């Protein structure tokens, strides 16, 4: 009978020693979704406006190169593209002006303004390309020029006292003019694109498309696409650079339907149905440059300027320039070679 109270005391003591069960940690609330309504106005939507103001002050750079045989209307097309005299334009054959013995590189700079937006446009012309009897390795001066611009940018970038805004002379786009033969690409065309598609954004263009019928034009475009594919030549926009499904869908349509653009250039205006239009006068009528049923100039302009200009610049910087930079630094142990000029600048900086 006495054991009862002792046991009850022991049980009470044990119950005191046993720790109370721990409470489960409070699970934090799920973060609000991105599309959740804000409780008040913050001003995030002004970021785009801030960026716009900043870029409007500095302006834009765009460097376009035109390559092709003489007489394919390269200068005329570039003038038509930007609706101003931005390229060299000869008003006919001049007896004093001889065909260059080697490929020359001529860069002409202009500042174009539209709607308050300034763009420093540089047109790089290549007179003498493909005009000789022996055109062996005639793409080498062009490749050398493109790499020289990468080298110039790289030297500025690795400089101790870097400029806040490095002048950009790199070639963002190369319009390659294909002769409208209607047959096939020449070996020179294939060799040029094979060598330079790795260092610059190439956009193939069929020049003077009004010399072919609609059926001939369609057939020639298909043949050119097939030849480029068989020879493993990639032109802009390259498939591996498509960032998302939307880009892929849009670029696939351009690659399969539009490339190469069959264009006609003209800087002369004519009156058609009460409207002033850019065009070429022929015995059977006026070919309107900006009319899609006549040629694909409008598609080329929209592609180069209105939809892909910024992407052309980004691919040049992030892909072609980075490839050159990585190879250059790797070959030279990390830095470009020191010349007398760079040594002087380094000493003055120090």
pLDDT in single tens digits along all 350 residues of the chain: 455 555 555 555 554 555 555 565 555 555 555 555 667 888 888 999 898 888 888 888 999 999 988 888 888 888 888 887 777 654 444 545 566 666 788 888 888 888 888 889 999 988 878 777 777 888 888 999 999 999 999 998 888 888 888 889 999 999 999 998 878 888 888 989 998 988 999 999 998 888 888 888 889 999 999 999 999 888 888 888 777 788 888 888 888 888 889 988 887 888 888 888 888 888 888 888 888 888 888 899 999 988 899 999 999 999 999 999 999 888 876 555 555 554 555 455 44
Q: In this predicted structure, what is the pLDDT of residue 11? A: 53
How many structural domains are present in the chain?
A: 1
In a domain, 99, yes or no: yes
Q: Which of 331, 68, 320 is nearest to 170 (CA)?
A: 320
Token pair 């002087």 is at which residue?
Answer: 344
The answer as to whether 316 is a domain residue is yes
Handedness of CA 266, 268, 270, 276 (dihedral sign): positive
Give domain status of residue 314, yes or no.
yes
- Cβ-count burial 111-136 (b if 16+ within 10 Å, e if not): eeeeeeeebebbbbbbbbbbeeeebe
Is residue 239 in a domain? yes
pLDDT value at position 96? Answer: 53
* CA-based nearest residue to 108, from 66, 72, 139, 154: 66
Bridge partners (DSSP) of residue 67 are 176
Closest CA to 110 of 62, 173, 68, 150: 62
Whole-structure pTM value: 0.78
Q: What is the CATH number of the domain that holds 143?
A: 3.40.50.300
Query: Do β-strands 106-114 and 117-125 pair in parallel, antiparallel, or remain unpaired?
Result: antiparallel
Using CB atoms within 10 A of its CB, is residue 80 exposed (0-12), middle (13-18) or buried (19+)? buried
State how far the Cα of 339 lies from the Cα of 350, in Å rounded to an integer.
16
Q: How many CA atoms does the CB half-sphere of 284 hold within 13 Å? A: 2
In sequence order, what are the residues at sequence separation of 6 or more whose Cβ sits closer than 8 angstroms to the Cβ of residue 62?
119, 120, 121, 122, 172, 173, 309, 313
Please check whether residue 132 lies inside any domain of the structure. Answer: yes
* Residue 4 forms part of a structural domain: no
For 131, the domain range is 58-266+296-332
Whether a cis peptide bond, with omega within 30° of 0, leads into 237 is: yes
> Does a structural domain hold residue 186?
yes
What is the predicted pLDDT for the residue at 60? 87
pLDDT of residue 74: 85
Write down the pLDDT at residue 151: 93
């Amino acid at each position: 009978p006495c054991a009862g109270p002792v046991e009850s005391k022991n049980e009470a003591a044990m119950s005191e020693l046993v720790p109370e069960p721990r409470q489960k940690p409070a699970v934090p609330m799920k973060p609000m979704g991105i599309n959740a309504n804000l409780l008040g106005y913050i001003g995030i939507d002004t970021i785009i406006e801030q960026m716009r103001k900043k870029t409007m002050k500095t302006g834009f750079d765009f460097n376009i190169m035109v390559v092709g045989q003489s007489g394919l209307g390269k200068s005329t097309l570039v003038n038509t593209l930007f609706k101003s005299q931005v390229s060299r334009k000869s008003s006919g054959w001049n007896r004093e002006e001889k065909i260059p013995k080697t490929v020359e590189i001529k860069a002409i700079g202009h500042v174009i303004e539209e709607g308050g937006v300034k763009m420093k446009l540089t047109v790089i012309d290549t007179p003498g390309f493909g005009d000789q009897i022996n055109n062996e390795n005639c793409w080498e001066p062009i490749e050398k020029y493109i790499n020289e611009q990468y080298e110039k940018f790289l030297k500025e970038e690795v400089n101790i006292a870097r400029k806040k805004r490095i002048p950009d002379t790199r070639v963002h786009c190369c319009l390659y003019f294909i002769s409208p033969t209607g047959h096939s690409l020449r070996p020179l065309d294939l060799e040029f694109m094979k060598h330079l598609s790795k260092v610059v954004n190439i956009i193939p263009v069929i020049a003077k498309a009004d010399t072919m019928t609609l059926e001939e034009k369609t057939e020639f475009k298909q043949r050119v696409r097939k030849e480029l594919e068989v020879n493993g030549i990639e032109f802009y926009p390259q498939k591996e650079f498509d960032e998302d499904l939307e880009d892929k869908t849009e670029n696939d349509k351009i690659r399969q339907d539009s490339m190469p653009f069959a264009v006609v250039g003209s800087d002369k205006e004519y009156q058609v149905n009460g409207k002033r239009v850019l065009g070429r006068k022929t015995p059977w009528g006026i070919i309107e440059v900006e009319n899609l049923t006549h040629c694909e100039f409008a598609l080329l302009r929209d592609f180069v300027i209105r939809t892909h200009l910024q992407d052309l610049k980004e691919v040049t910087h992030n892909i072609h320039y980075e490839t050159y930079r990585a190879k250059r630094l790797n070959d030279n142990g990390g830095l470009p070679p020191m010349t007398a000029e760079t040594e002087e600048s380094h000493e003055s900086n120090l």
